[in-house]
Amino acid sequence: MHSIPDERNWLTWLVKVRMLILMVLLAIELTIIRLSPSPLPVMPFLTTMVLWFSLSLFFLFLVSVWSEHRLQAILQVLADLCLVTLVVHVTGGIDSSLNFLYPLVIVVACMLLPPAWGYLSAALAFIFFGTILELDYYLVIPSYATSHPKLKALQVVIFVNLFAYFAIAYLAGLLMSKLRQVDVQLKDASGALQNLQALHENIVQSMSEGVITTGLDGRITLVNRAAQQLLEISEAELRGQSVADLFQDPLPHFGTERGNGEVRYVGANGFRKTFRVLVSALNLSAGGDLGFVYTFDDLTEIRRLEREVRMQDRLAAVGRLAAAIAHEIRNPLTSIAGSVSMLSETSALNEDERHLLQIVIRESERLNNIITDFLAYSRGKQYRFERANLVALLHDTLTLLEHRLASENSPIKIGRNFPKSEAWVLADGDKLKQVFWNFCENAVRAMKSQQGSLTVTLTERGRDWEMSFADTGPGINPQQTEKIFEPFQSNFEGGTGLGLAIVYQIVQAHEGKVWARSEVGKGTSFVVRLRRMEEGDRGTPRKVLSAAESAAGAQAGSAGGSRG
């Protein structure tokens, strides 16, 4: 049984084929009339053909406006049987060469209607054909036949056609039954194939790991949703690209010891990610290799945590070292500095000797500053966590910086980008000012006295507040950026290299995240994220006894090191 769209298509096809057959028959008969003498009545034949052609046009219109396709098929079969009978009559009755149109109508009935209609149309064809021959024989109607066989011969012709019509109905019905079974099986197989294809596609698309398939030329053919999210690029943009061009490092090769490895990737937002990539062949059991399958997952957070653990170990070692020797160094250093200061006041010294003593005093002060930073870094810090407005803290820090730059006649410009007037967090305001001032001081020292700008931006990122300190200085290379929060990594002359390490401790104590982004020649950005205080949460002031204790509590949620 055909579906509704199939029935409509079959009926439309039937009308078009009928019109084509009518035009061919008309052309053939007119050619026969012109080339040889024929008793064929031209006007009745032409009238019948025009009527049949007009009725076909009506059926073509009816298919598009009437949804009862089964009834239309019955009407078309009955109309065809009647008009075939009329054509057979005007073309000679028993002498007509067009009685082959009856089997065509029977075949059409078997195609469009249930099997019973095939036998019914065969019976109607027998009745119509026998009736027209009997009426011609007995001259009840005008006869166009050239021969006049006897009654028995006429009856033989009629019953032979009866057998032929029912045989055609049987064979056509059997063939259409087989075709319908094959059509159902084909649809079932097609549906199962589509379901299997959809299942496979859903499995690939539902994988948590990124999956990219390529041809043998390395051009991307498929990208699942996880890969699009990891790469931050849509499948339409990735299709056709070379997979090797996506990553900064060479991809592992299939069939070698480097069948898996780690590669770096820089997203559209400038953040660098680390992916673990596994490559395998995409092949058919009999067709050989078709391409390659790359599966990858994001190791960025794992590698960041590993760097953070390594840095925590280094910071703890430095802290223990600082606590052990700082006091031992400071006491004799104070004695040396005092003695040298008294010697410098002696009048018997010449200028060279005084200059040497000044060098000793200056270096003693620098060494004392280093020891002070050591103690500040290693000593357990007291934090007073209260409800604090980041906008006010930033304004205070930048105002102090602007006054200092104005007093020094520095051409550096300060930019503020604060969309909101309030940004509340639970924090130690003084410690956060120390963080902000350290970033500003580093930016000013990086730009020195040259024309430049420092832009401070505060934005809302989900449940966090994000502060960015972006300068237009010379930038930092990736190797230095990776270690920028480790102790003794100063890039400035005379710096102790502990300022950003202390910043990292403070941010850790606030359970926040801090990182640096930089590109040589394009400046540096320090980014801090702190948890946003929800509306109505007034916060409970609390103390953190030491940075180490706070860092231990924030280890799972903190983010240090560098990104970029």
Neighbour order of strands in the sheet with 288-298: 220-223, 210-215, 288-298, 272-284, 260-266
Q: Are strands 453-461 and 413-417 parallel, antiparallel or unpaired?
A: parallel
Residue 114 and residue 166: Cα distance in Å, rounded? Answer: 15
Residue 490 is predicted with a pLDDT of 64
Geometric angle at alpha carbon 122, from 121 and 125, rounded to 5°: 85
Residue 394 and residue 458: Cα distance in Å, rounded? Answer: 9
CB neighbours of residue 207 within 10 Å: 15
Residue 285 and residue 490: Cα distance in Å, rounded? Answer: 60
Residue 496 is predicted with a pLDDT of 58
Residue 424 is predicted with a pLDDT of 92
Q: How many CA atoms lie within 13 A of 241 on its CB side?
A: 14
Please report how the helices 42-65 and 69-90 are oriented relative to each other, as an axis angle in degrees rounded to 10. Answer: 180
| Highest mean pLDDT of the ranges 128-132, 278-282, 388-392 | 388-392
How much of the chain exceeds pLDDT 90, in percent? Answer: 9
Q: Is the pLDDT of residue 243 over 80?
A: yes
Residue 561 is predicted with a pLDDT of 39
Which of residues 327 and 301 earns the better pLDDT score? 301
Secondary structure class of 168 (helix, strand, coil): helix
Token pair, residue 11, equals 């009926």
Terminal C-alpha separation, the chain: 65
Q: Model confidence over 492-540: pLDDT tens digits?
A: 655 556 778 888 888 988 889 998 888 888 889 999 999 988 765 554 4
* Segments of 172-307 assigned E as strands: 210-215, 220-223, 260-266, 272-284, 288-298
| Dihedral sign, Cα of residue 149, residue 153, residue 159, residue 163 | negative
| Dihedral sign, Cα of residue 139, residue 143, residue 148, residue 153 | negative
Average pLDDT on 152-174 reads: 83
Task: Evaluate whether 562 touches 484 at the Cβ level (below 8 Å).
Answer: yes
Residue 473 and residue 281: Cα distance in Å, rounded? Answer: 47
CB neighbours of residue 414 within 10 Å: 16
Neighbour order of strands in the sheet with 464-471: 413-417, 453-461, 464-471, 524-531, 513-518
| Dihedral sign, Cα of residue 416, residue 420, residue 421, residue 425 | negative
Q: Model confidence over 165-190: pLDDT tens digits?
A: 888 888 888 888 888 788 788 888 87
- Tell the residue number behind the tokens 């604090």, with chain if given: 388
Residue 546 is predicted with a pLDDT of 46
CB neighbours of residue 123 within 10 Å: 15
What secondary structure, in 3-state letters, does 455-478 show? Answer: EEEEEEECCEEEEEEEECCCCCCH
Q: Model confidence over 377-405: pLDDT tens digits?
A: 666 567 888 999 999 999 999 998 888 88
Q: How many CA atoms lie within 13 A of 356 on its CB side?
A: 6
Tell me the one-letter amino acid at 252: P
Geometric angle at alpha carbon 359, from 354 and 363, rounded to 5°: 150
What is the DSSP secondary structure assignment for residue 489, as one 8-state letter? Answer: -
CB neighbours of residue 100 within 10 Å: 10
| Radius of gyration of the CA atoms of the chain, in A | 47
Write out the DSSP string of 337-386.
HHHHHHHHT-TT--HHHHHHHHHHHHHHHHHHHHHHHHHHHHSPPPEEEE
Residue 137 is predicted with a pLDDT of 77
**Domains, the chain:** 4-189 (no CATH), 208-298 (3.30.450.20), 303-378 (1.20.58), 383-554 (3.30.565.10)
Residue 261 and residue 250: Cα distance in Å, rounded? Answer: 9
- Tell the residue number behind the tokens 């005008």, with chain if given: 142
Residue 270's alpha-carbon distances to 56, 264, 558, in angstroms, are 69, 12, 21
Token pair, residue 512, equals 């926040």
Q: Is the pLDDT of residue 31 over 80?
A: no
Average pLDDT on 140-164 reads: 79
What secondary structure, in 3-state letters, does 20-47 show? Answer: HHHHHHHHHHHHHHHHCCCCCCHHHHHH
Buried b / exposed e over 49-62, threshold 16 CB at 10 Å, is beebeebbeebbeb
Q: How many CA atoms lie within 13 A of 216 on its CB side?
A: 4
- Among 197-201, 249-253, 382-386, 534-538, where is mean pLDDT lowest? 534-538
- Tell the residue number behind the tokens 């910043």, with chain if given: 503
Q: Model confidence over 415-465: pLDDT tens digits?
A: 999 988 899 999 999 889 999 999 998 888 888 767 889 999 999 988 899
Residue 427 and residue 509: Cα distance in Å, rounded? Answer: 9
Secondary structure class of 321 (helix, strand, coil): helix
Q: Taking the model in full, what pTM does it have? A: 0.44
Task: Evaluate whether 317 touches 487 at the Cβ level (below 8 Å).
Answer: no
Tell me the one-letter amino acid at 93: G
- Among 33-47, 408-422, 473-487, 538-552, where is mean pLDDT lowest? 538-552
If you average pLDDT over every residue of the chain, what do you get? 78
Residue 32 and residue 343: Cα distance in Å, rounded? Answer: 141
